[in-house]
Amino acid sequence: MKDLAPIALPHGPPVECTAEYFKSLMESASMFIRENQEKRDRADRKMEADQEVLERKTRETEAMRQRVGEMQEVKEMMEKQVRDYTIYEDYLMSVVQSYPEFKQPLDVLNRYEALAAAKNTLADRQERDLEMLENARQEIAALTEEKKLFMMGLNNTLADLRWRYDQVRSRVIKWELALNRLKETAAKRHVEICHVRSAIWSLYTKICRSKGLLIDLPVDDFEQQLVVR
């Protein structure tokens, strides 16, 4: 068999035979396929990376939106509590304004304590006086008619003492009721403030953990906890 003449390829150098020509074509095609596959792989990896970045940014945006919403709720709750407690402060201030002897709300509480102590002292003294007067009245009842004027004087004194006792007792009861209301209000406010501070601390720790920040603020420093970003 005679050797084939060299074949001139339209897009490459001439080859010595048809087998070499097809071999060259196969190698070129294989290289082209590998390059295209590598390009597709790089494009797929880039798309996956871009998708991961997009998902991460979306999660971060949603988390930030939720944190902003939580902080807004805490802010509104605290503002409402401030508005609610203003009426009690106004009441105490109205008492101070109505009675010149009071300079500040604390004076009202101090006055109550003083009145309560005075009430106990007066009650003990009144009880002793009443016992003494009753004994005297019984003794005088056994005396002669000439002692009646003296007896009337003692009865008048007893009536005056009873009236004064009733007046003091009425005022003390009024202040006791007022103090009880103040104590109840203060206790409720303390409980609500503790709840608010606990909510602020919980929110602060969640934010720090989500951001990878160090939880270095004191538990009672709720003002600084609210400004953490």
Q: DSSP string covering 48-69, please?
A: HHHHHHHHHHHHHHHHHHHHHH
Structure confidence at residue 10 (pLDDT): 46
Distance from C-alpha of 3 to C-alpha of 107, rounded to nearest angstrom: 126
Beta bridge partner(s), residue 15: 7
Structure confidence at residue 115 (pLDDT): 82
Residue whose tokens read 């101090």: 110
Residue among 77, 208, 45 nearest 216 (CA): 208
Structure confidence at residue 108 (pLDDT): 73
Please tell me the least confidently modeled range out of 24-33, 72-81, 85-94, 215-224. 85-94
Phi, psi of 185 (to 5 degrees): -65, -45
Place 15 in a pLDDT band, splitting at 50, 70 and 90.
very low
pLDDT tens per residue, range 144-195: 777 777 778 888 988 999 999 999 899 999 999 999 999 999 999 999 989 9
Mean pLDDT confidence for 3-8: 43
From first CA to last CA, the distance across the chain in angstroms is: 88
pLDDT tens per residue, range 65-112: 888 888 888 888 887 887 776 776 777 778 788 878 878 877 877 887
pLDDT tens per residue, range 37-64: 888 888 888 888 888 888 888 888 888 8
Residue among 77, 56, 59, 78 nearest 67 (CA): 59
Q: What is the number of other CB atoms lying within 10 angstroms of the CB of residue 175?
A: 18
Paired tokens of 142: 């056994």
Mean pLDDT confidence for 115-140: 84
Report the residue count for the chain.
Answer: 229
Residue whose tokens read 């060299």: 6
Q: DSSP string covering 191-216, please?
A: HHHHHHHHHHHHHHHHHHHHHT----
To 10 degrees, the CA torsion angle through 85, 86, 88, 90?
A: 170
Structure confidence at residue 1 (pLDDT): 42
Helix (H, G, I), strand (E, B) or coil at 21: helix
